[in-house]
Amino acid sequence: EAGVAQSPRYKIIEKRQSVAFWCNPISGHATLYWYQQILGQGPELLIRYENEEAVDDSQLPKDRFSAERLKGVDSTLKIQPAELGDSAVYLCASSSRGTQSYEQYFGPGTRLTVT
Amino acid sequence: SQQGEEDPQALSIQEGENATMNCSYKTSINNLQWYRQNSGRGLVHLILIRSNEREKHSGRLRVTLDTSKKSSSLLITASRAADTASYFCATGGMYSGGGADGLTFGKGTHLIIQP
């Protein structure tokens, strides 16, 4: 089965510019997550979707970050405007509902550098 | 915020030796997972141990859990060069709203296997 797809893999922007990341989860996975991983740290959850509904966005900095998952499949995470501290790897993950397997499947990530 | 800490932060051993890394967490858990992250395969689930389990094996991996001490350990036996990676423990993932909550990761242990 195909894994979680993310694009782009790398992005370099200047501060105050905007950027968007795309994620396509594993087919049939209703739950989708976005994580931010700063160098030397573990991933931190930004937002979780169940189908098209954002059920946990408590850690998303809503003044500059936004996300959408309009048809309950692929998702976009946007930063506008970017700050130097946003330099990180943005990871998308998905999991299957109903099986209670708890395992999350991660994409390769997008490495963002803000200069 | 990070749930806990892995210890040590970095570990370098010779190929064939065993590697042990520890994880402490702060809150009550339903389960604890270990993930591996390397540049080639990204972040990959290794093993899950439930709160009512004390030990679990998977191939060359052995995980223990002590809920009274809020700690877990991951043992990799007969290490190989391919085991070089960062290892993270993660808690959370409890079911709510039909799917699994996001995970809370530690800062990770960077393991280097020297040939």
Query: Can you identify the CATH homologous superfamily of domain B5-114?
Result: Immunoglobulins (2.60.40.10)
**pLDDT tens-digit profile of A33-46?**
999 999 999 999 99
Residue B104: its chain A contacts at CB < 8 A? 44-45
Is the residue at A58 inside a domain?
yes
Whether A106 and A4 have beta carbons less than 8 Å apart is answered as yes
Residue A43: its chain B contacts at CB < 8 A? 43, 88, 103, 105
Is the residue at A106 inside a domain?
no
Indicate the residue type of B100: A
Omega into A81 within 30° of 0, i.e. cis? yes
CATH of the domain at A39: 2.60.40.10
Residue among A91, A102, A105, A106 with most chain B CBs within 10 A, to mutate: A102
Within 13 Å and on the Cβ side, how many CA atoms surround B94? 9
Tell me, letter by letter, the H, E, C secondary structure of chain B.
CCCCEEECCEEEEECCCCEEEEEECCCCCCEEEEEEEECCCEEEEEEEEECCCCEEEECCEEEEEECCCCEEEEEECCCCHHHCEEEEEEEECCEECCEECCEEECCCEEEEEEC
Nearest to B3 by CA among B104, B110, B109, B71: B104
Is the residue at A10 inside a domain?
yes
Query: What stretch of H or E contains A18?
Result: none
Q: Which of B71-75, B89-93, B95-99 has the highest mean pLDDT?
A: B71-75
In Å, how far is B25's CA from the nearest CA of chain A?
Answer: 14
Residue A41: its chain B contacts at CB < 8 A? 2, 107-108
**pLDDT tens-digit profile of B51-68?**
999 999 999 999 999 999
Partner A contacted by B40 (CB < 8 A): no
* CA dihedral of A63, A49, A9, A43, whole degrees rounded to 10: 80
Q: Phi/psi at A49 (nearest 5 deg)?
A: -115, 140
Is the residue at A91 inside a domain?
yes
Is the residue at A114 inside a domain?
no
Residue A108: its chain B contacts at CB < 8 A? 42
Q: Domain-by-domain residue ranges, chain B?
A: 5-114
- The whole domain housing A34 covers 5-97
Is the residue at A112 inside a domain?
no
Confidence bin at A99 (pLDDT 50/70/90): low
In Å, how far is A66's CA from the nearest CA of chain B?
Answer: 17
Please name the residues in contact with B22: beta carbons below 8 A apart, sequence gap of 6 or more: B6, B7, B71, B72, B73, B74
Is the residue at A73 inside a domain?
yes
Confidence bin at A101 (pLDDT 50/70/90): low
Position with higher pLDDT, A82 vs B27: A82
In Å, how far is A92's CA from the nearest CA of chain B?
Answer: 10
Nearest to A14 by CA among A90, A83, A111, A89: A83
pLDDT of residue A102: 78
In Å, how far is A62's CA from the nearest CA of chain B?
Answer: 17
- Enter the DSSP assignment of A73: S
- Split into its structural domains, chain A has a count of 1
